[in-house]
Structure 1
Amino acid sequence: MAVNNVSDHSVMQIKDEDKDDVIAENDGNMATLTEDRNYVELVVSSIRGRIQQQPPRPACSCIFRIPTVLRRHNEKAFLPDLISIGPFHHGEKDLQVMEEIKLWYLHCLLDRNPTSETSLENLVEAIKSMEQHCRDCYEERIDMSSEKFVEMMVVDGCFIIELFRKWAKEVPINEDDPVFYTAWMRSALTKDLLLLENQLPWKVVDCLFHHTKEKDKPESKALLLLALKFFEPFAFSQDPHADRPLETEHLLDGIRNSLLASYPQAETNSYWDAIPSVTELLQAGVEFKVRSNTWDNMLDITFENGVMEIPPTEIRGNGESLFRNLIAYEQCNQSINYCNFTSYAVILDNLINTSKDADFLIQKGIIVTDLSKEDIACLFNRLYSDTSVEYFCYVELTENVNAYYQDRWHRWQTILRRDYFSNPWSIFSLVAALLILGFTFLQTLYSLLTYY
């Protein structure tokens, strides 16, 4: 019995130890579960704190940061050299010199006191009333206080309208004004004002313009026409059109609308075939003509009966920057369905493969430029890289050009004209050869007939 008691006691002791182990294990599991639950709650809390309840950018946004995929091809084409307009480049150290000139232009405007509404208080109040609309025009959330944001809108907007009025000679130009009397400044300023990242909402500029416009001055022009006249020499030298029935979003959008004003909307498609280069088309008998030297429809390229007519385009030093910003605007703005300038870049890239192709278009007067033929070829060969053309605007043109190019008869005609009809001596030689061949045939035929 004693042995059994000892055995029972040992068994009970073992059971007690197992029970303690189970309790300890359960406590450990509970601690682990608690720790896991705390971890999950922390992660969930972090995610919930950063969840965006609204879309990342308003549907009405029209001023964008240039995407890296487009910026990397030529970053300088998108960055201001002289002046910042709007919030994206505001406060950058290299652009501070123009801040003093902006404030001086504001003083000039207020000092003239053109209307009873032209007071700094009225201007600030007017822009403050549209602050949220202005913020929504930018694709990014603008991390600026209300006071700082409205101040920036007023100062930048007044500088722009005062600049346009001075250029149109509606207001006097101070003899010490560096903008007009420093050789390089006008070109740099014009380039900066047409950058996509350097825009003000048109509603701001238009509001300030009407608050400072002299009502009894008949020669005063509309704001958009003033802007187009200012940019005309730098916007491919196209005649300005301010009558296109579209709402203007900002200065760059106004330039785009003006350049599209006389361009008829053609059939569009997502699929198209590339066309051969100028050199290849010349070998197939295609003739190139400049469109009657008109400067108001640069995009209206036509092809009919083997003749491609292309309106003239002037490309200055700022040409690449303007092209790239127009293309970037078409790529970023979801409300733009027809990628007109991207399509134009595709056509010019197809036509210009080498400097020889570029030189031909320059000699024809289709491209007017002070750049070298190598620079022009390089410009168009990489202009629309990494873009997406959902609606290509030259579908019918490319189909007609390719059909003409693939017809061998046109190529044979070209060879005949080039090799045998290019000058009088070639024609004489061909006629002589044909006559000799004919006489030889007749002589042979006569001999055969005589024999038989």
Structure 2
Amino acid sequence: MAGNNVSDHSVMQIRDEDRRDVVIAETVELIVSSIQGRIQQRHPLPACSCIFRIPNVLRRHNEKAFVPDLISIGPFHHGEKDLQVMEEIKLWYLHCLLDRKPTSETSLEYLVEAIKSMEQHCRDCYQERIDMSSEKFVEMMVVDGCFIIELFRKFAKEVPRSEDDPVFYTAWMWSALRKDLSLLENQLPWKVVDCLFNRTKENDKPESNALLPLALKFFNPSAFEQNPQANRPLETKHLLDGIKNSLLASYEATYKYCYWAPIPSATELLQAGVEFKRRSDTFDNMLDITFKNGVMEIPPISIEDNAESLFINLIAYEQCDPSIIYHNITSYAVILDNLINNSKDADFLIQKEIIVTKLSKEDIAGLFSRLYNDTVVGYFCYAELTKNVNAYYQDRWHRWQTILRRDYFSNPWSIFSLFAALLILGFTFMQTLYSTLSYYK
């Protein structure tokens, strides 16, 4: 009997182990099936992705600089309650465009069909999957795109403005629209805007501007007052990308992925004899900073209320888009932050008219210190400049020259005093020498 009990117990243990094996196998199968069902066969970031959500590591420093105040463009902020007022104005602008009938083929059906044919490309332009039906997505593209081109045409006075148009006759709207349309999260694929623009041209009245110059004309006051440059041979991806390419203009830098050290502030460089000059009288290329023979030439830049938002979104765009290798705007922000260490530095650059602004010197000093927090500068375009500036600053002879010029050659009286002191010292030396020689004689 005892032997039978032992045998039964062993059989039960075997059966329990078999059940556990079955349960484990079934669990493994379920987990594998779940993972396989969620595996992404497509690359998570399509090659044409160019419109990105701002990562939290950048957003946390200045949330307001990345979110729209007035209008939603594209899917990321679509439907937000605080932005619904502009939805009615968008539809009114669409009515204005269609009502003019710029071409015989201009109809809502024609425009919708054109955008529907490029829907997948448009979806791939966004970093993340857009959870919208095809109908809602295409509708949003058409309405937002038509609003943008109608806004640009009205701004350039290529089409009539209504006297009761709140966009043009409400003072605060201009600034808000320029800021919102330059946000990285608030972009449309350029292909959409360009398609709608070309399909709504007046055939019998050629427009004086192509789309990009028209867009840059609209953004010019808020884009650091730089003269619009639409001749850079690069494919435009969206409005913010068009602004970035315009700012780069014909700028050519020497890119080096190497160690680079910060440079001293403007007032510290002044003490070492560095001279600062405004590069030209025109706002042509703010990035073209040079240093030669102790002279730093910096092109003028206009800094107004929305400048921080534009700067931060351009920098975020450089950080997010893997196709952007050279971080020109980030490099520029680093240099200006180095030069402006406090309000005294900011005031000096304002007095030199290198920075043109209505903001206070304290605001300017704070602005540049916030621009590139938690960013990575890949190819730094001012590596050679910082190397030369630091070498000049560390040369003691330049500092001594500056002290001599400041303390002894700054005005005629100080020169006369130095000459008199040297004369007295010479006479004293001669008298001492004469007395010594007389003594030995």
Aligned residue among 375, 398, 414 for 2:386: 398
Partner of 1:10: none
Match of 1:293 in 2: 281
Please report how far the alpha carbon of residue 431 of structure 1 lies from its aligned counterpart in structure 2 after TM superposition.
1.1
Retained in 2: the 8 A contact 1:303–1:397?
A: yes
Q: Deviations 1:184-209 (Å, cap 9, x if unpaired)?
A: 00100110000000000000000000
Specify the SS of the correspondent of 2:374: coil
Aligned mate of 2:219, from 215, 223, 231 = 231
In the alignment, is the contact (CA less than 8 A) between 1:262 and 1:296 conserved in 2? no
User: Matched residue pairs, number?
Assistant: 440
How far apart are 1:27 and its partner, in Å? 1.4
Match of 1:42 among 30, 33, 37: 30
Tell me, in whole angstroms, the C-alpha distance in 1 between the residues paired with 2:342 and 2:257: 28
Aligned positions of 1:47-446 closer than 5 A = 47-446=35-434
- TM-superposed CA distance for 1:219, in Å, is 4.4
Partners of 2:211 and 2:12 in 1: how far apart? 82
* Gap regions ≥5 residues in structure 1: 1-12
In 2, Cα distance between equivalents of 1:42 and 1:218: 64
Please give the alpha-carbon distance, in whole angstroms, between the structure 1 residues aligned to 2:420 and 2:41: 86
Bigger radius of gyration = 1
Deviations 1:323-365 (A, max 9, x none): 0000011111111111000000111111111111111111111
CA deviation map 1:302-326 (0-9, x unaligned): 0000000000000111000000000
Cα distance in 1 between the residues matched to 2:295 and 2:393: 12
User: 379-388 vs 159-168, which deviates more?
Assistant: 379-388
In the alignment, is the contact (CA less than 8 A) between 1:270 and 1:389 conserved in 2?
Answer: no
CA distance in 2, matches of 1:283, 1:416: 11
Paired with 1:48 and 1:369, the residues of 2 have a C-alpha distance of 57
Structure-1 separation of matches of 2:109 and 2:402: 72
Q: How many angstroms does 1:392 deviate by? A: 0.4
Does the aligned pair in 1 maintain the 2:253–2:382 contact within 8 Å?
no
Residue type matched to 2:240 in 1?
L
What secondary structure sits across from 2:233 in the alignment? coil
Say if 1:290 and 1:366, in contact at 8 Å, map to a contact too.
Answer: yes
* Aligned partners of 1:421 and 1:427 also within 8 Å: yes
For 1:121, the aligned partner's letter is E
Shift of 1:75: 0.7
SS at match of 1:263: coil
* Stretch of structure 1 that moved more, 96-105 or 218-227: 218-227
- Secondary structure, aligned partner of 1:176: coil
Deviation at 1:450, TM superposition (A): 3.1
Q: Which amino acid aligns with 2:228?
A: P
Q: Given residue 253 of structure 2, which amino acid in structure 1 is its aligned partner?
A: Q
Q: Is the 8 A contact 2:263 2:339 kept in 1?
A: yes
| CA–CA distance in structure 2, aligned partners of residues 53 and 270 of structure 1 | 37
Looking at structure 2, the residues matched to 265 and 308 of structure 1 have their Cα atoms a distance apart, in angstroms, of 16
Query: What's the RMSD between the two structures over aligned residues?
Result: 1.0
- Structure 1 letter corresponding to 2:393: Y
Give the whole-Å Cα distance in 2 for the aligned partners of 1:418 and 1:46.
76
TM-score (norm 2): 0.98
Q: Any idea what SS the aligned residue of 1:309 has? A: strand
> Deviation of residue 414 (structure 1)?
0.8
The letter of the residue matching 1:298 is M
TM-superposed CA distance for 1:271, in Å, is 2.3
Q: Distance in 2 between matches of 1:220 and 1:293?
A: 27
Whole-angstrom CA distance in 1 between matches of 2:206 and 2:134: 37
Moved more, 108-117 or 266-275: 266-275
Q: Kindly tell me: are residues 218 and 36 of structure 1, through their superposed partners in 2, closer, same or farther at Cα, counting changes over 3 Å?
A: closer
CA–CA distance in structure 2, aligned partners of residues 276 and 426 of structure 1:
29
- Supply the distance in 2 between the matched residues of 1:105 and 1:378 (Cα, whole angstroms): 39
Q: Distance in 1 between matches of 2:207 and 2:101?
A: 18
Between the aligned partners of 1:338 and 1:349, the Cα distance in structure 2 is 19
SS at match of 2:113: helix
Q: Name the CA distance, whole Å, in 1 between partners of 2:267 and 2:434.
A: 48
Shift of 1:218: 3.5
Deviates more, 1:420-429 or 1:328-337: 420-429
Which piece of structure 1 moves more, 439-448 or 205-214? Answer: 439-448
Counterpart CA distance in 2 for 1:40 and 1:269 is 47
Judge conservation of contact 1:270–1:390 (CA < 8 Å) in 2: no
Q: Distance in 2 between matches of 1:328 and 1:24?
A: 65
Per the TM alignment, residue 246 of structure 1 is displaced from its structure 2 partner at its CA by: 0.6
